[in-house]
Structure 1
Amino acid sequence: MRRVLVALIALALSPAAALAGWRDDVKTLKVGFIAGDNPTQEVARLEKFRWRLQTALAVPVTLFPARSYQALIEAESSGRIQYAILSSLAYVALDQACHCAEPLVQPVAADGARGFRALIVAPAASRIASLDDARGKRLAVARKDSLSGRLVPLAGLAAEGIDAETTFASLVETEDPLAALKALGNGDADLAVAWSSAEEPLTAPRDSGPIGALTADGGLPPGGLRVVWRSDIIPFGPHAVRSDLPSEAKDALRRALVAMRTDDPDAYDAIEPRFEGGFVEVDDGPYRRLGLLLAEVAAPQ
């Protein structure tokens, strides 16, 4: 009888039994993503990615198309989905909303960059070489919800004790950092926000940000700008899972995602076509620091 009991305990503790246990708990993994105005088409486009995850976990995987990051945040915080593909700002908002999720992996650029820096630039031919020189000048910024073109630059300046509203003569409103650079080039501003994922943003390739794109298109002469201010690294948006997802499921997902660029490039390209470097493991440190920066500036004085 004792031998039978020992055998039953050993079976219960075996990897196969453990796998069955967490699979029974998960049942179906629901993955949320931004689908835009054509969710049916986007779900079909991501089929290879969905199938790769389903194969890795050996549980059904379904896709949850959302029209906005707010919808994804609400779905993951409420537990209607267990996995979401988010921007950096959306992950910070999710973390502040529920403290119920964690970043699993993030994509990287072809050169290995894990994020980008927000910048404030001035024409190289101008006399603006520092923030002190920028006082009383016009700063072109992006719309109010732009992370790189508004939120981080103004938050970073505030963290250094610089109030943009009183330091600059005016904030010239534009649509995005590319439009801000064009306003600078047209003489409608004296400085502009920008961003770059390159170590040397002023000599960067086209896909490193708006400076590289504008230079490649001939809209900006090489060496035509000077960086007046730069932020800390802002990480690219993560694939985040709920913290209560079983650790075995997280490990299986992490392994599949990190290997995906090599093992199944079609599946990877379906979900991350802009980032050629694949997925890497990530912790929430950079995202928490970003959240603290934005929260500090937003707090009532």
Structure 2
Amino acid sequence: MQSNQGRKALGFRLKAFIQYWVFLAVLSPLVLAGSFGVSKADWRTDLGVFRVGIVVGEDVAGNLARVEPFRLALAEALGMNVEIFPARNMSSLIEAHRGSRIEYAIYSASAYAATWILCECVEPLVLPLAVDQTATFRAVIISGPSGPGNLSDLKLENLAIPRARAVGAFEIAMYELEKQGVFPEGTTVDKVGSSEQAVNAMLDGTSVAMLGWSSMIGDRLSGYSRGSLKALAERNEGEATGYKIIWQSLDIPHSPHAIRKNLSSEAKRLLRETLQHMFSADPSAYDSIELDYGGGFEIARHGQFLSVLDFVRAKMGIKGASSEVTGEVTGTGETQKE
């Protein structure tokens, strides 16, 4: 029989033997990775090129040249090559994002909503800020001095409604008004043309109320910081006296920059940081990509688009985000910059 000392020696050897193989098991993957270059692929290597989609319309060369400072700024921030994908219209931009042909796109609010409904593969990155530092606005109904005091007294034929360029803020407003029972579902209206023409109709008494928009921040008596009430005030010795807002929509976001959900978290962080500081740190890059608002960017959240998503689902004939699409949504934006 083995002595106690012999058994202890055997135990120590066995323990050392086990520890040695545990050490090799831990070390071997590290050695192999160092020897053969086997490591988790970097997201830059996976992508190869980072592609940014913008709507260029007919002037492809001119718009590509215009956004070159923005492209260079993103390339520097990401540490990789960036290419601009020139989309003829918003529909082709949506299809490119859905099909993973681009990682980044600049949308209207309704186009972002349509893309999310079709694939749930995107998320908002930033929203442009206006000079008053707002990233949203509201559609409003403004009543004039001889106009109705509330919605129940409003007659549709007395309401001046501007003709939006595409699927935009005023269509969203009409949808909300129908949902609230203010107008019958499927109401058709005569539109006066531009927002400026609607303001003129109010001033000359042709209309006693108008559908407009407002930032809804700032001094009420001067018409808030920007919007249709502000335009009326500026034509009325700087005061909105006699004009009142009798209805307002939910917040409508400015045109978002959006990215694919499956983009690397590091890439998302680099993009957010770059865009947040671009207005002051790289004004030439900012000015090359943001033509409407002029106040920088702020971080965007998907929850800011819920009311727009509701509207776009209804327009597309969808009951839920995974339902079959039966309609088409197009548009170039809801820019409110008067």
TM-score under structure 1 length normalisation: 0.84
Distance apart, 1:164 and its partner CA? 4.8
- What corresponds to 2:51 in structure 1? 30
Partner of 1:133: 153
Contact preservation (8 Å) 1:31, 1:84: yes
* RMSD over aligned Cα atoms: 3.0
Aligned residues: percent identity? 33
- Are 1:203 and 2:222 matched, yes or no? yes
Q: 1:120 to 1:276 in 2, by over 3 A?
A: same
Aligned counterpart, 2:106: 85
Give the deviation of 1:46 after TM superposition.
Answer: 1.0
Amino acid of the structure 1 residue aligned with 2:154 = A
Counterpart of 1:99 (choices 111, 120, 123) is 120
Which protein has the larger Cα radius of gyration, Structure 1 or Structure 2?
A: 2
| Per-residue deviation, 1:122 | 1.7
In the alignment, what sits opposite 1:5?
28
Structure 1 stretch displaced more, 93-102 or 181-190: 181-190
How many Å apart are 1:198 and its aligned residue?
Answer: 3.9
Which consecutive residues of structure 2, in runs of 5 or more, have no partner in the other structure? 1-22, 320-338
The question of whether the paired residues in 1 share the 8 Å contact of 2:199 and 2:231 is answered with: no
Most deviating of 171-180 and 265-274? 171-180
Instruction: Write out per-residue CA displacement over residues 159-209 of structure 1, whole angstroms, 9 at most, x where no aligned residue.
Output: 212225799xx8331233333222333443332111122415662478x23
Code of the residue aligned with 1:42 in structure 2: it is N
Change (3 A) 1:23 1:164: same
Match of 2:183 in 1: 163
Alignment check: 8 A CA contact 1:165 1:171 kept = no
CA drift of 1:297 comes to: 7.2
State the TM-score, normalizing by the size of structure 2. Answer: 0.75
Partners of 1:121 and 1:226 within 8 A in 2: yes
Q: Distance in 2 between matches of 1:22 and 1:153?
A: 42
Distance 2:318 2:51 in 1: 38
Residue type of the partner of 1:291? L
Deviates more, 1:68-77 or 1:220-229: 220-229
1:181 is aligned to 199
Structure 1 residue 103, shift from structure 2 partner: 0.4
Q: Report the more deviating stretch, 81-90 or 254-263.
A: 254-263
User: What secondary structure sits across from 1:171 in the alignment?
Assistant: coil
> Following superposition of structure 1 onto structure 2, how do residues 1-301 of structure 1 map, counting pairs within 5 Å?
2=24, 5=28, 7-8=30-31, 21-123=42-144, 125-135=145-155, 137-143=157-163, 145-149=166-170, 151-164=171-184, 171-200=189-218, 203-204=222-223, 208-213=226-231, 215-216=233-234, 218=235, 222-223=239-240, 224-296=242-314
Task: Report if aligned partners of 2:213, 2:228 keep a CA contact under 8 Å in 1.
Answer: yes
User: Could you list the per-position Cα deviations for residues 255-301 of structure 1 after superposition, in whole angstroms to 9, with x for gaps in the alignment?
Assistant: 21112122212111211133333111111011133211443577599
* Helix, strand or coil at the partner of 1:180: helix
How many corresponding residue pairs? 290
- SS of equivalent to 1:174: strand
Unaligned 5+ segments in structure 1 are none
Q: Could you say what secondary structure the match of 1:108 adopts?
A: strand
Q: Give the match's secondary structure for 2:44.
A: helix
Contact 1:107/1:280 (8 A) holds in 2: yes
| In 2: Cα distance, 1:46 partner to 1:104 partner | 18
Cα pair distance change 1:126/1:119, threshold 3 Å: same
